[in-house]
Amino acid sequence: MRYVLGIDAGGTKTVGLLAEETGRVVAEARGTGANLQTHGELEVEKVFDGILEELGSRGKIGILRRLGYRETARVVNDAAIALVAGASERAGIVILAGTGSIAYGADRAGNTARSGGYGFLLADEGSGYWLGHQALRAAVRSADGRGPRSLLADLVFESLGVGSVAEMVPVVYEKGLPKFRIAAHAGLVQKASDRGDAVATALLEEAALELSLAARAVAARLSLGEGPYRVVLAGGVFKACPTLPARIEACLRLPGAELVPLRVEPAQGAVTLALDLLRS
């Protein structure tokens, strides 16, 4: 029996799946985020080594250790594996919104395109980090009186364990909030919106529009026709903000597109691509 390994390395978590050549997954391992730009080479190496060690120690599967982890490898964008995991034909679009965000697509002729996914300084609109950052800013503006009153002020203060903007400042700047902690505040936007907060609702609408624009930009560079084809929604933001899919559907405007949530680990797509290598 031969085995393949598929790894999905994100900004917040990393998932590895070990599968038989039949495609049956026999082991799973999880680690922290492993984004090269955010975490650096040493941290990424540490996370990957932990994933490989855990998978290599499961049951009779000692092949990883015996090989010294050396085998044929293929590195692709995390959105590419999410598309493969969610669209069996491997044609369509994926909107991936986790800590960061990106839209990626492929058509039946093998053409690919992407939009966004360039990091929080240049893009990532609609991502967990973007929503969380906007929540922090809205909380400060509300408390300061420079912006509309918003429930986000109380929710953010409670989340950070502070009672005022003055107490919030050292938590954010001196102690430093990592990206995944900021991204975790995306769920507060949904919570405030559910309570009728207009500021939070406007942020969700803006996030949906930005993610829709990214998907439309990808579709414009592909030959998907009028469908049907899938637009796969993947990433933690859709769990934290469950009203986002309906908001995206309302402004997507792509004939033939069928919005579907990704119901398996994106790493399953990495396994599928690894099987391609095994069989080639």
> How do the domains of the chain map onto residue ranges?
3-71, 77-263
What is the C-alpha separation between 123 and 120, in angstroms, rounded?
A: 5
**Is 128 within 8 Å of 97 (Cβ atoms)?**
yes
Q: What angle do CA 78, 176, 148 make, to 5 degrees?
A: 90
Q: What is the spatial distance between Cα 35 and Cα 26, in angstroms, rounded to a whole number?
A: 26
Q: How many whole angstroms separate alpha carbon 152 and alpha carbon 232? A: 29
Q: Indicate the CATH number for domain 77-263.
A: 3.30.420.40
DSSP string, 231-261: EEEESTHHHH-TTHHHHHHHHH--TTEEEEE
- pLDDT means per 10 residues, the chain with 280 residues, are 88 90 93 80 86 73 52 85 94 96 96 95 96 98 97 98 97 90 96 98 98 98 90 97 98 94 95 91
pLDDT value at residue 54: 86
Q: What is the pLDDT of residue 67?
A: 45
| Dist. CA 47–CA 193, nearest whole Å | 36
pTM of the model: 0.90
Q: Write down the architecture of domain 3-71 according to CATH.
A: 2-Layer Sandwich (3.30)
pLDDT at position 213: 98
Is the backbone of residue 193 left (phi > 0), alpha (psi -120 to 50) or beta? alpha
Query: Do the domains at 3-71 and 77-263 have one common CATH topology?
Result: yes
pLDDT computed for residue 62 by the predictor: 55
Q: What is the pLDDT, as a whole number, of residue 65?
A: 53
Q: What is the pLDDT of residue 61?
A: 52
Give residue 79's Cα distance to chain centre.
Answer: 8
